[in-house]
Amino acid sequence: MLNQIRIILVEPAGALNIGSVARIMKNMGLKQLVLVKPHCDRLAPEARQMAVHAIDILTNALCVETIPEALTGCKRAIATTARVRDSPVKLESPKEALPWLLHPHFHTALIFGPEDRGLSNQELNYAQRFINIPSNPEYPSLNLAQAVAICSYELSQLVQQPVATPEILSDSASLDHLEAYYQQLETLLLKIGYLYPHTAAARMAKLRRLYHQAQLSEPDVTMLRGILSQVNWALEQNTQD
């Protein structure tokens, strides 16, 4: 099940950190590393030095431009954050949330933010659940590699424990399919005046949480997208009349 989990680093700035993350992943049995708009060379000498025997993780790492690209094919995603940013989302500990990522039949993802700022509210919107690693409140922000190490260790321990076979949700919607629906929904809601440009992000964040709770299937999303397409067609017909 560890082979199904992607470790996603958003805009990592340091080659040393990327190399350290690769080594940690190798230590704990994780293989899929995805870098979103990295600000350094993943194969730089510093990265190789820290990776030691995990050069294959660096070499096979996928580099993409956006978080939705990194999540292509995934059906579950957890984001890590050091603090609450005026958001009603529930923060969970690694022990509470990480078992949800372990599934033998589909890809899942664990998202980490940039070293200097963590994940923004917009970036957090791409996840369905959220982890906060308990730490000293006087200095709660962990180094990127440290955060990956803690979560990777928890995942490695989980797969060694005898657990019931996870429920097979083969028809659950992939996150890229959901993201396409959210973009289509936002466009239509702006068009009809339900959303306004200056408040659209906050409203859409609430709608995303609503749909994530519903755990939509692929047929569900296909049906919803069909409804939006028909509504948009009807609007255009009325405009022409």
pLDDT band at 170; cut points 50, 70, 90: low
pLDDT above 70: residue 87: no
Indicate whether 127 and 24 sit together in one domain: yes
206-233: per-residue pLDDT in tens?
999 899 888 899 999 999 999 999 999 9
Amino acid 86: pLDDT? 59
**Inside any domain, residue 182:** yes
Produce one character per residue of 21-59: b if its CB has 16 or more CB atoms within 10 Å, e if not: bbbbbbebebbbbbbbbbebebebebbbebbeebbebbe
Indicate whether 141 and 193 sit together in one domain: no
Q: Determine the 3-state secondary structure of 80 from DSSP.
A: strand
CA 241 to chain centre: 44
Indicate whether 124 and 207 sit together in one domain: no
Indicate whether 117 and 194 sit together in one domain: no
Instruction: Give the C-alpha separation, 110 to 33, whole Å.
Output: 10
Amino acid 75: pLDDT? 93
Amino acid 237: pLDDT? 85
Indicate whether 181 and 88 sit together in one domain: no
Q: Among the three residues 160, 189, 206, which one is the final residue of a domain in this structure?
A: 160
Indicate whether 183 and 154 sit together in one domain: no
pLDDT above 60: residue 166: no
Indicate whether 189 and 225 sit together in one domain: yes
Rg of the chain's alpha carbons, rounded to an integer?
19
Strand 62-64 relative to strand 129-131, pairing: unpaired
Q: Among the three residues 160, 186, 210, which one is the final residue of a domain in this structure?
A: 160
Residue 152 burial by Cβ neighbours in a 10 Å radius (0-12, 13-18, 19+) = buried
**Inside any domain, residue 90:** yes
Indicate whether 108 and 207 sit together in one domain: no
**Are 34 and 59 a contacting pair, CB within 8 Å?**
no
Mean pLDDT value across the chain: 90
**Inside any domain, residue 129:** yes
pLDDT above 80: residue 171: no
Rounded to 5°, angle at Cα 92 from 125 and 57: 70
Indicate whether 216 and 140 sit together in one domain: no
Q: Among the three residues 160, 186, 220, which one is the final residue of a domain in this structure?
A: 160
CATH number at residue 46: 3.40.1280.10
Q: What is the DSSP string of 91-103?
A: EE-HHHHGGGG--
Across the range 159-164, mean pLDDT stands at 69
Amino acid 228: pLDDT? 95
pLDDT above 70: residue 164: no
**Inside any domain, residue 23:** yes
Produce one character per residue of 82-103: b if its CB has 16 or more CB atoms within 10 Å, e if not: beeeebebebeebeebbbebbb
Across the range 58-77, mean pLDDT stands at 95
Instruction: Give the C-alpha separation, 128 to 135, whole Å.
Output: 23
**Inside any domain, residue 168:** no
Q: Name which of 7-11, 169-173, 188-192, 199-203 the model is least confident about.
A: 169-173
Instruction: Give the C-alpha separation, 161 to 159, whole Å.
Output: 5
pLDDT band at 93; cut points 50, 70, 90: very high
Measured CA distances, 210 to 21, 204, 213 (Å): 33, 10, 5
Indicate whether 8 and 47 sit together in one domain: yes
Amino acid 83: pLDDT? 66
Indicate whether 82 and 192 sit together in one domain: no
Containing structural domain, residue 195: 175-240
CATH number at residue 188: 1.10.8.590
**Inside any domain, residue 166:** no
108-144: per-residue pLDDT in tens?
999 999 988 889 989 999 999 999 998 888 887 789 9
Amino acid 137: pLDDT? 80
Indicate whether 184 and 122 sit together in one domain: no
Strand 32-36 relative to strand 107-112, pairing: unpaired
Across the range 15-43, mean pLDDT stands at 96
**Inside any domain, residue 42:** yes
**Inside any domain, residue 165:** no
Instruction: Give the C-alpha separation, 44 to 19, whole Å.
Output: 9
Q: How many CB atoms lie within 10 A of CB 185?
A: 20
In the chain, the number of structural domains is 2
